Amino acid sequence: MLAYGSEKETLPNEIERDRTTGFPLLSEADGILQLILAYLELPYSVTEHGCGKKASLILDYLLKLRIPAYGLARGMALEPDLSPTALIETDYRNRPQALVAENPLNSLCDLKDERLRRMLKESAADVEEKDGFIRTGPYILRHDPMVQFAQARSHIYPILWFWDPDKNRAIRMVIDPSLHRQRLFPPEEVRTLLHSPECLLLQAPLLGRFLLDPPSITSEQNKKINSILSKKALSSDDLEQLSYEDHAWLIREFTGAEPGSLGDPETWSYANNLQGWDRDQDQAQYNHTGKGESLRILRKQLIEARQEKRGDAPAVRGRLRDQVDDAQILSIAADDARWSARALAPLSDVTMTVVYFNALMELAGEIKESKSVLRLLEDAQTVHRFRGLGVRLRRRVDWLAECSLDEEGRIDARALNDRFFKASQETIRQMNAARLAVCVDSVGNLHGLLIKAEDRDRLRQGDFSLLQQSIQHGSHIDSVNNAGRFDGRLGVAGGIEALHTITDLTEYFNCPALPEGNVYSHV
């Protein structure tokens, strides 16, 4: 989402890559983050069940940017004590290495605010309010300054390989806006952001298995691993040669996890260590786990060949591409992303409303102090403060786009096809939600007007003269085939959003919405 991202005003037109490996250059790191923040509907929150789905959305988007699948991975931060005693302890203060993240919602507004709760009831279909938290579907949002991962005891995040031409080496970076929205960061920094200096860090290639990440093992962890492996006459030097069964045994011994528990790697999929509420999806992910395991060694070989400037690098890259194709990684990643977007929709709607409400509350304060709203557009820092007003607009575009998807996931709402009519219905729904008077003119154009109550009767009786004395803004909802989510829809959704913001100011903050003259606004 656009809320609370960087203040940069432009997005990169293309991602520059290393010709030998296909990895993006390290200089592209910030540009990639800006693209993620601008074009993905990532809920502005940290919550159980959400991180793995966000990772799937980010990974699929990176693949669509033509970043190679072998240059991507999932990372997992795992609490080091998963014994039965630790699993029943729900107070993170009693777990010395509990994963705990700063709650981005805490600084925005009070989740107990009655105006916010009323807005949530109107904007989100599945919301349960209790003292101190809001539940939507399987997700729980809290106002606490810190949040833990009480059920999974883990956090999933995407990893991306870059090429640094100055130092002639590959560099791994984590891209996780839930933990850090300003920059990408090295995997080891996950421990700092999760306040767990001794949590285990594991890594899985796309469709691979989560294994301990040798470069990220701390000295204390190395001592314990050597002690465990000595039972089988092995050491940490043998870590990468362990069979998967021995590796799973090592993790269970290290964490104290029982077989079959969430700390047992033999129950994990390539996506996470915690099964969700969709058993079919869980089983499909489990069945695909291991298909991408060969990428781990081949990627290492490619990096070594590139660093040593060997002539076999193109051949290794060719084998990597073949493995990606054979495992159908791109299509499975796309399926994961579509499922994740649907599963995250309730969370997206609620967090969108919270972020929007915070910005609206600030705007209402400015208006009530008789300050000029126009001046808010003249300063980059001020504009940044009110970017929360854009999150619902981004969501509107997604709602319209989802109505326009064909069976293959492409956008096709060309005039008068079935998806065009669905998009028309969605447009009417959004206009109604914005408290606009909606009508259709003689040639089929949709109009949503912000007018006084007495003028609505004139409109119902077919008096379209009101359309002639209004400020109009809009676009089209039919589109060029597969031209992208923003084609036409941004203009329509932008007009609705502007008027909805005005009516919300009246509804929730008693700020007048309509001018005293006879000039109205309509989309």
Question: Which of the listed residues 334, 359, 378 is the one where a domain comes to its end?
Answer: 334
Considering the domain architecture, whether residues 400 and 495 belong to the same structural domain is answered as: yes
Handedness of CA 290, 291, 297, 299 (dihedral sign): negative
Considering the domain architecture, whether residues 316 and 173 belong to the same structural domain is answered as: yes
Considering the domain architecture, whether residues 47 and 182 belong to the same structural domain is answered as: yes
pLDDT of amino acid 79: 98
Is residue 183, in this structure, part of any structural domain at all?
yes
SS3 of residue 404 by DSSP: coil
Question: Which of the listed residues 297, 315, 334 is the one where a domain comes to its end?
Answer: 334
Whether 374 shows a pLDDT value over 80: the answer reads no
Residue keyed to tokens 């949503």: 448
Global pTM?
0.84
Is residue 365, in this structure, part of any structural domain at all?
no
Is residue 139, in this structure, part of any structural domain at all?
yes
Q: What integer is the mean pLDDT of 148-167? A: 95
| Length of the chain in terms of residues written | 523
Nearest 5°: phi and psi at 131? Answer: -60, 110
The CATH number of the domain holding residue 484 is 3.40.630.10
Considering the domain architecture, whether residues 323 and 397 belong to the same structural domain is answered as: no
Considering the domain architecture, whether residues 193 and 321 belong to the same structural domain is answered as: yes
Is residue 425, in this structure, part of any structural domain at all?
yes
Considering the domain architecture, whether residues 427 and 511 belong to the same structural domain is answered as: yes
Considering the domain architecture, whether residues 390 and 330 belong to the same structural domain is answered as: no
How many structural domains does the chain have?
A: 2
Q: Helices 329-368 & 114-123, crossing angle to 10 degrees? A: 140
Q: What is the DSSP string of 18-38?
A: -TTT-PBBGGGHHHHHHHHHH
Whether 41 shows a pLDDT value over 70: the answer reads no
Q: How many C-beta atoms lie closer than 10 Å to residue 225's C-beta?
A: 21
Considering the domain architecture, whether residues 106 and 193 belong to the same structural domain is answered as: yes
Considering the domain architecture, whether residues 296 and 414 belong to the same structural domain is answered as: no
Considering the domain architecture, whether residues 431 and 510 belong to the same structural domain is answered as: yes
The residue segments making up the domain with residue 410 are 386-522
Is residue 293, in this structure, part of any structural domain at all?
yes
Is residue 518, in this structure, part of any structural domain at all?
yes
pLDDT band at 334 (very low <50, low <70, confident <90, very high): very high
Considering the domain architecture, whether residues 327 and 471 belong to the same structural domain is answered as: no
pLDDT band at 4 (very low <50, low <70, confident <90, very high): very low
Tell me the per-residue pLDDT of 475-499, one tens digit each, with 9 for 90 and over.
777 766 666 677 778 888 888 998 9
DSSP 8-class letter at 333? H
Is residue 495, in this structure, part of any structural domain at all?
yes
Is residue 296, in this structure, part of any structural domain at all?
yes
pLDDT of amino acid 248: 96
| Pairing state between β 100-102 and 128-130 | unpaired
Considering the domain architecture, whether residues 284 and 417 belong to the same structural domain is answered as: no
